[in-house]
Amino acid sequence: MKYTAQQLAEIANAQLIGDPNKVVKNLAFDSRIIYSVQDTAFLAIKTEKNNGEKYIASAIEKGIHVIIAEQKTIDNDEVSWLLVENAIDFVQKLARYHFNQYNISSIGVTGSNGKTIVKEWLYQSLSDDFSCVKSPKSFNSQLGLPLSLLKINASHQLGIFEVGISKPNEMEKLQEIFSPKIGILTHIGSAHIAHFQNEKQLIEEKITLFKNSEVIVFNGDNDLAFSILNEKYSSKHLISYGFGKHNDVHIISDWKDRTKDITVTCLGEVFSFPVHQRDEATLVNALAVITVLYHLGYAREKIIEKIHHLKSVEMRLEAVNGIRNNLIINDSFNLDLDSLKIAYQFIKEYNKPNKVLIITDFVEKHNADELYKEVADLTNEQNFNMIFLVGEEIQKYQSLFKALSFSFNKISELIKSQEFNKLENQLILLKGARKFETEKVKTYLELQKHETVLEVNLNKVLHNIRVHQSFLRPETKMMAMVKAYSYGLGGYEIAEFLQHHHIDYLGVAVADEGVELRKNGIITPIIVMNPEQHSYNAVIDFNLEPNIYSFRVLELFYQQLKQADFVGDYPIHIKLETGMHRLGFKEDELDELIQRLKQMNIRVKSIFSHLSSADIPAEREYTLQQFEVFERQSERLIQGLGYTPIQHILNSSGILNYPEYQYDMVRIGIGMVGICYNEKVKPLLQPAVAFKSVISQISEIKKDVSVSYGRRYKAEKDTRIATIPVGYADGIPRLLSNGVGFVGIKNAIVPIVGSVCMDMMMVNIEDIPAKEGDEVIIFNGHPSLEEFAHYCKTIPYEVLTSISRRVKRVYVKD
């Protein structure tokens, strides 16, 4: 897009203050991740949780000269303002206008699952034949869709956009700005259903998108969706796909039989093709693509060829720690301008001052000169210390890059180079086209070449937090418990992510954990739940806030404050005993507590307590009693103190089961991981942690042959045994030996056989078509963390915190 400030004001009915001729080509809404200030306008978005106005100053400081906001907040002659009623409405109006300027064909994809894959696959299938534009990643929301639409320009013939909603009445708004010719409804699942009355309402809302569509392609396996669409849109051209035989497009072969090709009937025409990946989700997404291609008039052979060439959609950026304290951000799945911009945004989230870029030739392009010029301009704004250009083409443009740069023909040459091997304390962004195999750089730099990893999906952590927040009032604060190495998930990485997403408080168990976070640049307030006496110094030095739960602790801490000559009121938190019988002041101590506190230079920031049984429905009475005691005690404390500290008592289960007692703040812990003890909410959460390994070796053994120490297992028949490089030193309890525990391999669940060793264990894979090097799931979806905890006869909390530090933690973002 390209508009002047004047045009923007006219299109979206905004009041313009300042230069009407300023040009706007990009919109930014997060001042921390602005990757380019050239012709960029900053959009101050107000949400329930946050107010973008707070960041206007930092956007201006970075060099942005057009601000779109509800009010003018800063006097600066260089800045032009567009004053609007609501920033989201503004982008939506603009996108609607923009979309209507171009008469392009359009496909709109909605549904609960599979939107992004179907969109990406359609793009892969159609971009050879049409000049296509698509939503980047899964930009599909009230803001994401408009931003995607603004990418349309005069060269495009076809737009493929995904559209997502989470609450009632959202689709109507999106339909007004984007009305696709071809509508696609993918699988309907339980995502967001909590905000709707029932599934029917959810489906009806989603299909509003198709109001003006000519053709609707939909997953017909959901009976309700099938009947609603046929009823509501009987006058439109409807094509259904899915596993059910009633669908216009469905599979007729036995798709579970891996030795056979998949055969599909498509409105009467039959065709077969080989498919390697056979899970239901992949197949049904492929059916959606086949249906659209068929509708667009592609011949059978062409469709088979296109399906054959679909590439798995890996849209995640992963961050791993490398040797010499380098942090590697690996994004080597596709390389185009959009994904480069996203990667540049992504690295802004890390506060590493030293940055290095490794970038390869772009594979898909129209005009190389223009493209590399744009790449260089964009890159020059990022302040990389050093740039490595890999590929014969991109090195021709080396002079365009301002940072110190080196060029190579191949990745293998780069890895051998001296400059590369000297890198230390750097954030290394790896941005390469697939065919250059840039992942080799990652492998080379990885700390230890560990095959066993604990993978933490940060987006899912955020998703789970949002699900919990949906039970709370918008103004209720949230503390994230990151004690015990963030429940085993990692140290500052999780805290940094949460800080970036404006968590109000962090909770650690002991002072050392808090100090570690501060040393890594965490500035969010941190409460220390169990401050040990020897650490009070560190507490004060690192601005940590202690939990004070007894007179002994209060007096000792106060002594330390005096010794440190602390000036001002030190923030502390008072814990009340209400029924857990662990730590806390008791009711009859309150009067004395008030007296003492009044004599000290201390400020009580919060009063809190902890529930013993928020996850146990049978203990509801007891829990309600805890609230009652808490309310009575804190009221007394507040009266006595003469001011009102914030109050909090709910943990994760409490949030879901007793939201009426949220007070001013809640403390989320295990819920972030995706574990919950509320059956209704469970399907809404996403498992955020995966413990994975690989098969080191496979042995064929005969009947009666024994496996592992002590010969506790002997094969009952000839079979195949896989050895996995993870053992009790990694956190797999030895009690899982010999059939007690299971792991997932190739979607099958197989038993551990023989004794679990210190660093290895064996599983019986029989005739599962696994090979050495294949992935092993210790827990993820299947088996789940809960199931694994069940094998171990314990709870997910203990499983996670028992995973040894030597297991590498990898953080991914979708």
Ligand X SMILES: *Cc1c(COP(=O)(O)O)cnc(C)c1O
SS3 293: helix
Task: Quote the least distance from Cβ 656 to ligand X, whole Å.
Answer: 10
* Number of C-beta neighbours around residue 526 at 10 A: 24
Output 671 or 741, the one with its CB closest to ligand X.
Answer: 671
The binding track of 607-636 with respect to ligand X, each residue x by CB under 6 A or -, is ---x--------------------------
Torsion of CA 349, 351, 355, 360, to 10 degrees: -10
570 and 528 in contact (C-beta within 8 Å)? no
Give me the residue label for tokens 């709870």.
795
Q: What does each C-alpha distance from 369 to 152, 374, 388 come to in angstroms?
A: 21, 9, 19
On whether the CB atoms of residues 712 and 755 are closer than 8 A, the answer is yes
Regarding 481 and contact with ligand X (CB under 6 A), the answer is yes
d(CA 597, CA 340): 55
> Residues 650-669 vs ligand X: string with x where CB under 6 A?
-xxx-------------xxx
The nearest distance, CB 506 to ligand X, in angstroms, is 12
Alpha carbon distance 270, 284 (integer Å): 17
Residue 648 binds ligand X, judged by CB under 6 A: no
Quote the DSSP letter at residue 263.
E
Stretch in the footprint of ligand X (CB under 6 A) among 75-83, 192-200, 324-332, 649-657: 649-657
Distance CA 170, CA 4 (A): 29
Q: How many Å apart are CA 219 and CA 185, to the nearest integer?
A: 6
Q: Which of 326, 338, 322, 330 is nearest to 375 (CA)?
A: 338
Measure Cα distances from 3 to 98, 207, 812 in Å: 10, 32, 36
CB nearer ligand X, residue 229 or residue 465: 465
Instruction: Name the residue nearer to ligand X (CB basis): 597 or 670.
Output: 670
Residue nearest ligand X, Cβ-based: 669
Q: Is 572 in the site for ligand X (CB under 6 A)?
A: no
Q: Which of residues 376 and 454 has its CB atom nearest to ligand X in the complex?
A: 454
Whether 758 has a binding-site annotation, put simply, is: yes
Query: In terms of Cα–Cα distance, which of 739, 735, 766 is closest to 751?
Result: 739
Nearer to ligand X, 405 or 578 (CB): 578
CB of 508 to ligand X, least distance (A): 10
Minimum distance, C-beta of residue 667 to ligand X, in the bound complex (Å): 4
Of positions 180, 220, 671, 744, contacts ligand X by CB under 6 A: 671
Q: Please state, in angstroms and rounded to a whole number, the distance separating the CA atoms of residues 180 and 160.
A: 9
Q: Which is nearer to ligand X, 332 or 609 (CB)?
A: 609
User: Which residues are bridge partners to 761 per DSSP?
Assistant: 724
Half-sphere exposure of 236 (CA within 13 A, CB side): 23
Q: What is the DSSP string of 659-698?
A: GGG-TTEEEESGGGGT--S-TTTGGGS---EEEEEE--EE
Q: Which of 529, 539, 722, 800 binds ligand X (CB under 6 A)?
A: 529
State which of positions 583-612 bind ligand X (CB under 6 A).
Answer: 610
User: Cβ closer to ligand X: 6 or 530?
Assistant: 530
Nearer to ligand X, 669 or 741 (CB): 669
**Shortest Cβ distance from residue 481 to ligand X (Å)?**
4
Work out the angle at residue 447's Cα, subtended by the Cα atoms of residues 445 and 448, and round it to the nearest 5 degrees: 110
Interface region with ligand X, contact rule CB under 6 A, candidates 228-236, 338-346, 431-439, 648-656:
648-656
Coil, strand or helix: which one is 420? helix
Q: State the number of binding residues for ligand X (CB under 6 A).
A: 12
Please report the beta strands in 243-306, taking only residues with DSSP state E, as ranges in sequence order: 249-251, 262-266, 269-273
Whichever of 347 and 668 has its CB closer to ligand X, that residue is 668
* Distance, CA of 289 to CA of 283 (rounded, Å): 10
Query: Of the listed pieces 297-305, 465-473, 646-654, 770-778, which binds ligand X according to CB under 6 A?
Result: 646-654
Nearest to 469 by CA among 479, 457, 458, 484: 479
Instruction: Supply the residues annotated as catalytic.
Output: 483, 709
H or E segment and range at residue 225? helix 223-232
**Residue 603, helix vs strand vs coil:** strand
CA 664 to chain centre: 26
The distance of closest approach from Cβ of residue 529 to ligand X in the complex, given in angstroms and rounded to an integer, is 5
The Cα 106–Cα 292 span in angstroms is 12
Specify whether the CB–CB gap between 780 and 690 falls below 8 A.
yes
- Minimum distance of ligand X from residue 651's CB (angstroms): 3
Q: Which two tokens stand for residue 525?
A: 């307030």
Give whichever of 283 and 580 is closer to ligand X, judged by the CB atom.
Answer: 580
CB contact set of 801 (below 8 Å; sequence gap of 6+): 484, 485, 487, 488
By CB under 6 A, name the one of 45, 174, 670, 763 that touches ligand X: 670
Torsion sign (Cα): 692, 697, 701, 706: negative
Nearer to ligand X, 140 or 651 (CB): 651
Q: For residue 456, list its beta bridge partners.
A: 689, 811
Collapsing DSSP states into helix, strand and coil, what is residue 183?
strand
CA separation, residue 125 to residues 138, 160, 362 (Å):
18, 12, 19
Show contacts with ligand X in window 483-522 (CB under 6 A).
483
DSSP state of 582: S
**Cα separation of 471 and 454, whole Å?**
29
CB of 542 to ligand X, least distance (A): 20
Nearest CB to ligand X, comparing residues 76 and 686:
686
Cis peptide before 783 (omega within 30 of 0): yes
Tokens of 765: 């894979």
Beta strand 602-608 with 646-648 is: parallel
3-state DSSP assignment of residue 515: helix
Give the tokens for residue 174.
Answer: 């999106």
Q: Supply the minimum distance, in Å, between the C-beta of residue 693 and ligand X.
A: 26
Q: How far is the CB of 468 from ligand X (least distance, A)?
A: 9
As measured in angstroms, the least distance from the Cβ of 812 to ligand X is 22
| Nearest distance in Å: CB 490, ligand X | 16
Residues of the binding site: 582, 758
Residues of the binding site for substrate: 582, 758
Task: Give the interface with ligand X as residue ranges (CB under 6 A).
Answer: 481, 483, 529, 610, 651-653, 667-671
